[in-house]
Chains A and B, each alone.
Chain A
Amino acid sequence: MKALVAIKRVVDYNVKIRVKADQSGVETANVKYSANPFDEIAVEEAVRLKEAGVVSEVVAVSVGPAAAQETLRTALAIGADRAILVQTDDEVQPLAVAKILKHLAEAETPDLVILGKQAIDDDSNQTGQMLAALLGWAQGTFASKVVVEGGKVLVTREIDGGLETVALTLPAVVTTDLRLNEPRYASLPNIMKAKKKPLTVVPVAETGVDVAPRLTTLKVEEPAKRSAGVKVADVAALVDKLKNEAKVI
């Protein structure tokens, strides 16, 4: 069976982002980009399924600018077999990404599509669910365990109260949570090999999907800053402050 993995190029999670002075967005010039951490987990999971003999081919896909080729190379270095970039310099919102992924899924006919649960830039947590809806497939979101057996995938999901397991008929969509696996570091030989793996670039127009944003960003602001308070000398001083100054206990 084939697995399709969605991987987004995002500002690296270690970057302390800054809001632009004109409030039009966040500063993205000279900022480090990486693969969305949840998507690395998605690639790792697909590659593990391949190593276990469950999956025969792993295809990594991304929607974004030419620079997202680097992100796809990361996926290829982890062990994906080939990659597709749907290229555009415009902002593509989750609904449109889901439509593009649907288009690719119809062409590639994967049995499993694995996405991250959330892109750490827009924090939308939507695309996987939307893709499943558009395809009419089952969805296993926020996965911490994925087991493929007998035409089904058993997905253990991280939910507010604990864990839940669902059985999904394949083909299905899975979105990853942090505990699903720990992505490997790509070895140097694998990084070299990744350079030779096939990477197809498709202009977004070729997908026929209307990517015009439905949400207009009117402004982006910095949240109110919390100022550092005081250091207290000991537990007694702390309890006193909480009781008599903050009045919270």
Chain B
Amino acid sequence: MSVLVLAEHDGRALKPATLNTATAAVRLGGPVNLLVVGQGVGAVAEAAAQIAGVAKVLVADDAAYAHPLAEVLAPLVVSLADGHAAILAPATTTGKNVLPRVAAVLDVQQISEITAVLSADTFVRPIYAGNALATVQSKDALKVITVRTTAFDAAPATGGAAEIVTVSAAAAPSAVSAFVGQELAVSERPDLTAARIVISGGRGMQSGDNFHLLEKVADKLGAAVGASRAAVDAGFVSNDLQVGQTGKIVAPELYIAVGISGAIQHLAGMKDSKVIVAINKDEEAPIFQVADYGLVGDLFVELPKLSAALPSP
């Protein structure tokens, strides 16, 4: 039996999350089929076929799939379930939106955000904001799983030569839901979840304007910029920068937390980073309990010093 992976892409290119999910799929055993759904996604399918370890790329290319509406994607995925032992998607906002809809139709209890595959039916997943790790065994014949991408290495993007198969895009446009519009944040910086270095600001930043102090450091390091919930709620930066239990999960080589106290909900999103730096004026701030290097000081003094001390890229 094969494993089906719902690929994540933006219509032009595959998202790196697809590669991490492919690795989890390989661990489950059996050939891995990658499903690419969208409109005009020929190039994406070509790229998907190159991923090492992928047996088949299933492509559903149709105007009805121009936007990843759960109401349209779920029936397609359900129609392809047959012959698969498991269906996986990255735990991105798209995967989280679509996959439980698939699971419910198939009468399967989804296993959310797995961080390890122990066997074909047993997985590890964090609960309580990552303060506990549960090992769960599924009794369902078919497994429906979202994958925490930071927990799995990316599969090599090249080296594979999968067959590309067109699947009938039986989609009627959704009668109950319609895409209206999008406001996507445009940034020159690397994607938060894929960046090698992330620098995040919290309530201590005091305003959105002050984020330029942090961006100067980010520019020198080629880093992505993130934020705490408090900074997002206060309107300093947009919601898609929130790192944490209910925001994005990141695990870069280096995470720099600036003016962030270190609430468990924030730690849940970054504590698996390789090296953590904290800059905070309160030496008692809980963030120092997880930081490899702590700098006690006023961020308005320390950030300019830091950007000055770093070489230009």
Contact = CB atoms under 8 A, between A and B. Distances in A.
B177 A228 contact: no
Interface string B284-297: 00001111111111
A106 interface: no
Interface stretch (B23-31, B153-161, B245-253): B245-253
A167 B183 CA distance: 15
B177 A167 contact: yes
A121 B128 contact: yes
Nearest to A160: B93
Given A139-B70, A179-B233, A129 B240 contact: no
Is the contact region of chain A dominated by helix, strand, or loop, or is it mixed?
Answer: mixed
Interface in A199-217: 213-217
B97 A229 contact: no
Contacts of A136: 176
B110 A124 contact: yes
Given A139-B101, A172-B177, A248-B253, 18 more contacts: A95-B107, A118-B246, A126-B110, A137-B176, A141-B96, A162-B185, A162-B239, A166-B69, A172-B176, A214-B108, A215-B111, A217-B135, A220-B132, A221-B133, A222-B132, A223-B133, A226-B290, A232-B295
B222 to A, nearest CB: 10
B128 A246 contact: no
Interface in B116-155: 122, 126-140
B265 interface: yes
Interface residues of A, number: 82
A188 interface: no
B295 A234 contact: yes
B309 A239 contact: yes
A187 to B, nearest CB: 23
Interface of B: 10, 67, 69-71, 74, 92-94, 96-105, 107-113, 122, 126-140, 174-185, 193, 197, 221, 229, 232-233, 238-240, 245-246, 248, 253-254, 264-265, 271, 274-277, 283, 288-297, 302, 305-306, 309-310
Contact of B93 (A16, A144, A158, A219): A158
A183 B185 CA distance: 27
A17 B137 CA distance: 23
9 contacts: A16-B264, A123-B129, A133-B74, A139-B101, A177-B239, A216-B136, A217-B136, A223-B131, A231-B283
